[in-house]
Chain A
């Protein structure tokens, strides 16, 4: 069955040597980085850290050298990503650009766009946000209403993008919107490279349930985008954005974003041994190890040029389920009140994960949407 083809993940001596290098770098660089910050995982923002990572050649790893990349293998990139996530490194600044915006530009962008933007991403100095969701287009992305109307020399854009993580820190957005006002659903949509300093763009914070600011709403009022801002082909937006979403959904951050909670649980249990604790630890590690295996299979399929959308959806769904179950399961052995400001790292990390867990099955495609994709892949729709 095609949907369940999970090939043996590739390994190489070079990748394992790189792993040791990354571990040394992280042990040194993050030696004073506290557990409650590590728990932020890929939502931890630190532009300096991103620049240091870039200096080691660990951003834009697989891109061509002429665009500032390092022409390393997808396997080596995967090793770096999982080591960063396991350490809870603050990678948010460059994460979206490295994961999806850069690769989208590489695939669909003009030569001018690639030459200007990609080297800056690779240097860890140019950050991106995602311009997909709108007030009336959440899970139903084809319901976007935002319109880029053709004018002399470019487009005039009006409308609002929502849930824009790190929009307030980003330099650019890849905007997905309608370019044909008469079009319906997936048709007549396009993508644009938007400099967020362009006049007419205003970015307003949305605070999440933990009181944190990473979401934004981004308003476009008569924003002029030159023709040169179009990414790829006019009207081909849906195919392009689907390809971008595949990159967004397929990585190891979909099951490793709560790893710090497991670390804190193991630390706490050092002084509170029980059979129940051993069984729970074993079970969670078993889940994680198998997910990692499946995720590396997905990476291998991507490297082979396959389109593992169904496998990626399965890994993301299983990952979110595990990450949401973890704090609940851990509560059964860890008699500890979750407290955001607690000096006890286990209590602080548990608090952070409980408050953020609802998002795990929302961001990057809701559980229901992913399961719909899986069902379609099985041949049920």
Chain B
């Protein structure tokens, strides 16, 4: 059951995205324009705070906003900002106003040293979503064997701009700076837990995008005629549409698993394994569905003027962000193989 609070929030978001995120705006964003009007609108609607409403709206439900944003290909860091608010709040750190983001975990990480009561931090954060647009970002760093959550002012960084396949900002940020004590907190779930939080919202976004793609494909197959009838009347198209629906369903299930796992472990902690499962399955669904959707659409879907590519390009990007399938699969596989054949079923049944 979805709570009333969530239903109202989702309705607000649907209306706002439908109004603000037009194809023209999507093209603007793709060209590098920061959509300040729409951003102000969704901030004022309270969407960036959705995961920080405490008992009024459970995190598992609020995270569903990432699904709706994904369905509309919202070219703004809503998922990043609302997730950052939540992560800061539960770590006892103050959440600043404005655009927030978080740095995906990579092999290379920040060096963190204590400097009296304060901290010194140096290193490079790569492929940070919307880095150039954010006021602050969250990253994790190890210090004396403990993972810490850091709140960094983007103004302190040297930025090299980059893009993902959907032309969304993915920037490299170089830091060599000092942080006050109240910008750093221990992060008990570790680097994998932090990565999982980002992965969960990407899994939800992919589920939303897949659901939207399915709707677009159904509409197109019913309206486009060739050989004297709608192409949806052809068995070949119907079979592909059914496969697409299956992948959309799998992504839906994966997204639900991810949302519930965000605060799903004992003590409200991030439950990593279910999120890993969700990211792997949604990522695989994304690739299959994008390919089928383009095949169903023919040449028009391959053109910039048609809306399909806003979704498929995001799917091709999001499946790699916050851990690709190869990385998360390996984490799942290690856990399962370490437990051995006798515990296989109980591990699966516990998801």
Query: Considering the chains assembled together, what is the distance between the CA atoms of A262 and B332 in angstroms?
Result: 14
Interface size range on B against A? 35 or more
What residues of chain B lie closer than 8 Å to A293, measured between beta carbons? 253, 256-257, 351
Cβ contacts B195-206/A at 8 Å (1 or 0 each): 000000000000
Any A CB within 8 A of the CB of B278:
yes
Any A CB within 8 A of the CB of B218:
yes
Report which of A86, A264, A315 forms a contact with B345, defined as CB distance below 8 A: A86
CB atoms of B245 and A3 under 8 A apart = yes
Segment with Cβ contacts to A, from B85-93, B149-157, B175-183, B235-243:
B235-243
Segment with Cβ contacts to A, from B29-37, B309-317, B335-343:
B335-343
Known: A283-B329, A292-B348, A379-B222. A317 touches B337 (CB 8 A): no
Min CB distance, A63 to chain B, in Å? 25
CB atoms of A380 and B241 under 8 A apart = yes
CB atoms of B336 and A371 under 8 A apart = no
CB atoms of B280 and A270 under 8 A apart = no
Min CB distance, A167 to chain B, in Å? 32
Any B CB within 8 A of the CB of A232:
no
What residues of chain A lie closer than 8 Å to B325, measured between beta carbons? 283
Cβ contacts A344-381/B at 8 Å (1 or 0 each): 00000000000000000000000010111011011111
Report which of B215, B246, B260, B329 forms a contact with A317, defined as CB distance below 8 A: B246
Any A CB within 8 A of the CB of B249:
yes
What residues of chain B lie closer than 8 Å to A379, measured between beta carbons? 218, 222
CB atoms of A370 and B245 under 8 A apart = no
Nearest A residue (CB) for B345:
A86
CB atoms of A378 and B344 under 8 A apart = no
Nearest B residue (CB) for A269:
B337
CB atoms of A375 and B345 under 8 A apart = no
B192-238, CB < 8 A from A = 211, 214-215, 218, 221-222, 232-233, 235, 237-238
CB atoms of B277 and A278 under 8 A apart = no
Nearest B residue (CB) for A278:
B333
Report which of B214, B281, B284 forms a contact with A4, defined as CB distance below 8 A: B214
Cβ contacts A255-297/B at 8 Å (1 or 0 each): 0000100111011011001010111111101111111111001
CB atoms of A263 and B341 under 8 A apart = yes
Min CB distance, B281 to chain A, in Å? 4
Interface SS, A side: helix
What residues of chain A lie closer than 8 Å to B326, measured between beta carbons? 279
Any B CB within 8 A of the CB of A132:
no
Known: A4-B252, A297-B253. A368 touches B239 (CB 8 A): yes
Cβ contacts B98-136/A at 8 Å (1 or 0 each): 000000000000000000000000000000000000000
Min CB distance, A48 to chain B, in Å? 24
Report which of A262, A270, A275, A282 forms a contact with B276, defined as CB distance below 8 A: A282
Report which of A8, A279, A375 forms a contact with B330, defined as CB distance below 8 A: A279
Known: A282-B276, A317-B246. A267 touches B341 (CB 8 A): yes
CB atoms of B277 and A82 under 8 A apart = no
Query: Considering the chains assembled together, what is the distance between the CA atoms of A259 and B328 in angstroms?
Result: 22
Query: Considering the chains assembled together, what is the distance between the CA atoms of A318 and B248 in angstroms?
Result: 11
Any A CB within 8 A of the CB of B185:
no
What residues of chain A lie closer than 8 Å to B143, measured between beta carbons? none
Cβ contacts B252-263/A at 8 Å (1 or 0 each): 111011001000
Nearest A residue (CB) for B335:
A282
What residues of chain B lie closer than 8 Å to A273, measured between beta carbons? 337
Any A CB within 8 A of the CB of B269:
no
Known: A4-B252, A262-B344, A294-B253. A282 touches B336 (CB 8 A): yes
Report which of A282, A290, A291, A321 forms a contact with B328, defined as CB distance below 8 A: A282
Any A CB within 8 A of the CB of B292:
no
Query: Considering the chains assembled together, what is the distance between the CA atoms of A107 and B222 in angstroms?
Result: 37
Min CB distance, A140 to chain B, in Å? 14
Known: A283-B329, A372-B238. A264 touches B253 (CB 8 A): no
A225-241, CB < 8 A from B = none
What residues of chain B lie closer than 8 Å to A378, measured between beta carbons? 214, 218, 241-242, 245
CB atoms of A285 and B239 under 8 A apart = no
CB atoms of A371 and B243 under 8 A apart = yes
Q: A281-B332, A379-B222 are in contact. List 15 more A-B contacts (CB 8 A).
A: A1-B214, A1-B215, A3-B245, A4-B248, A266-B344, A277-B337, A279-B330, A280-B329, A282-B276, A290-B277, A292-B348, A370-B242, A372-B242, A375-B232, A381-B232
- Can you sample 10 A-B contacts with CB below 8 Å? A1-B215, A266-B337, A280-B329, A282-B331, A290-B254, A292-B351, A318-B250, A372-B242, A374-B241, A379-B218
* Top 7 closest pairs, chain A to chain B, by CB: A282-B329, A278-B333, A282-B332, A371-B242, A282-B333, A375-B238, A281-B333
